Amino acid sequence: MAKSLLIISRQAPWSGPSAREALDIALAGGAFDLPLGMLFLDDGVLQLLPSQNARALQQKDLTANLQALEMFGVEDLFACSTSLAERGMSPDALNVEPLNVLQDEEIAALIDRYDQVITI
């Protein structure tokens, strides 16, 4: 049975290449049909803000890639409730779905469910 991998994305969408490169790991794994999950934590939840306009910074729009995760077989998407609240974000107004919003203790349980984890 394939080992499962949880990718924890902690950076804002355009703070550098981290958000993009975390997503690339997920998409690559999805392409190989591997069991993957992705958790948005700390500034990583900022990737989930709706109405982003990457063009204004001449950057690529990550939203399209995030929405493609499901198509690549990465369906287990999670966001940290505390991180959302800290950043003034409502769990009901995110640019990706379906997405599970988790409390802190649920995140501990989430990490336990996966065989490996990468926090990027």
Partner 1 sequence: MKFAIALYSPAHAPSSRRALLFAQAALAAGHEIVRLFFYQDGVHSASSAVVTPQDELDVPAQWREFVTTHQLDGVVCIAAALRRGVLNEAEARRYSRTAASVAAPWELSGLGQLHDAVQEADRLICFGGP
Partner 2 sequence: MSTLHVLSHSPFADSRLSTCLRVLGGEDAILLCGDATYALNASTAARQALEARADGLKLFVLDEDATARSIELPDWVKAVDYPGFVELSVHYDKVNTWL
Tell me, residue by residue from 90 to 109, as one string, x for binding to partner 2 by CB under 8 A and - for no binding: --------------x--xxx
Which lies closer to partner 1 via its Cβ, residue 4 or residue 95? 4
Residues at the interface with partner 1 (CB under 8 A): 2-3, 5, 17-18, 21, 24-25, 28-29, 31-32, 34, 116-120
Site for partner 2 in 29-88 (CB under 8 A): 41-42, 80, 82-83
Q: Is 119 in the site for partner 2 (CB under 8 A)?
A: yes
The C-alpha atoms of residue 118 and residue 103 are separated, in whole angstroms, by 20
Contact partner, 41, from partner 1, partner 2, none, Cβ < 5-8 Å per class: partner 2
One-letter amino acid for residue 61 of the chain: D
Percent composition of the chain: helix, strand, coil (DSSP 3-state, to 5) = 40, 20, 40
**Greatest pairwise CA separation for the chain in angstroms:** 44
**Which of 10, 19, 117, 27 has its CA nearest to residue 62?**
19
